[in-house]
Amino acid sequence: MYYVCKRLEISSAHSLMLSYQSKCEELHGHNWIVKIYCKSETLNADGMVTDFTHIKKQISGALDHKNLNDVFDFNPTAENIAKWICDNVENAYRVEVWESEMNMAAYEVQGK
Q: Distance (Å, rounded) from C-alpha 112 to C-alpha 40?
A: 9
- Give residue 112's pLDDT: 62
3-class secondary structure for 28-62? EEEEEEEEEEEEECCCCCCCCCCCHHHHHHHHHHH
Mean pLDDT of 48-74: 97
Share of residues in the chain with pLDDT > 70 (%): 99
- Walk me through the domains of the chain, giving residue ranges and CATH numbers: 2-19+27-108 (3.30.479.10)
pTM for the structure as a whole: 0.94
